[in-house]
Amino acid sequence: MFSPYHHFENCIRLRRCIKRLFDSSYVPPEINDRFCNYHDALEHKLKSAEYNLQNLEILFQNTTITEISSNQSEFAFKTNLFIDGFFYNGGSALDILAREILACFSISPTGHVYYNNAYSEIHGRYPSDPLLVRLSDPPWKNEFSNYRNAATHEVLLSTSMTIDIQYSASNQSQRIRSSLPDDPRVIPSDRTFIRNPDALDYCKTTFKRLLRHINTIYGDIATRASANGRLPLP
């Protein structure tokens, strides 16, 4: 589904598992409806994140130095547009994932639901549930969330750009890079750009991590639902 980033095979597996159990009356209609609604929304967010990632790559590959020089503001706008789109949709996918998971436990929290709510709601009811290990924040999430929240609510992320030019006997090649700030909440004039000097590489790596994380959780839920022969969990 998201090749070459990830096959995301457990997504199809979980969908088929829930449909099979629902058709056999082992999944209540309200759980099935909630799961399907959230799942469609999550897939849309992941595809939107991928769309922005691909467009960022196309922008960097196809824009010439002359085009950048003649209209820097337009290039900066498009760069931030696609970076913002990637982080916004990727973060939304994680928040929707929490709703999917809680639906599979038949937990209906009140108020806004974010990724961490899945852990707190399940831990409050089933403190030894094995899925809690998966729902702990992966090591990359804090940095990702900081970028996402800053871009969504506060500041532009892309304020630094470099162009690498390589010459050979037969041709000239270029590589455009936009750096991500070490602390996105620092004003642009005081920013440093050491950890993530290439926004495109960071977003590609993060998208793979995002897909791998969600796919693993889908696999765990599908395995348990199949073994139990029903939903809700546990």
Q: Answer yes or no: is pLDDT of 131 > 60.
A: yes
pLDDT of residue 73: 93
Q: What is the C-alpha to C-alpha distance for residues 52 and 55, in angstroms, rounded to an integer?
A: 5
* 79 is a domain residue: yes
In a domain, 181, yes or no: no
Total domain count, the chain: 1
Q: Please indicate, yes or no, if residue 192 is contained in any of the structural domains.
A: no
Q: pLDDT digits over 23-70, tens only?
A: 999 999 999 999 999 999 999 999 999 999 999 999 999 998 889 989
Domain annotation covers residue 49 = yes
Is residue 164 one of the residues assigned to a domain? no
State yes or no: pLDDT of 170 exceeds 70.
no
User: Quick check: is 163 in a domain?
Assistant: no
Domain range for 149 is 9-156+197-228
Q: What is residue 166's predicted lDDT score, i.e. its pLDDT?
A: 65
pTM: 0.93
CA atoms within 13 A on the CB side of 113: 20
Among residues 35, 21, 3, which one has the least CA distance to residue 224? 21
Residue 162 covered by a domain: no
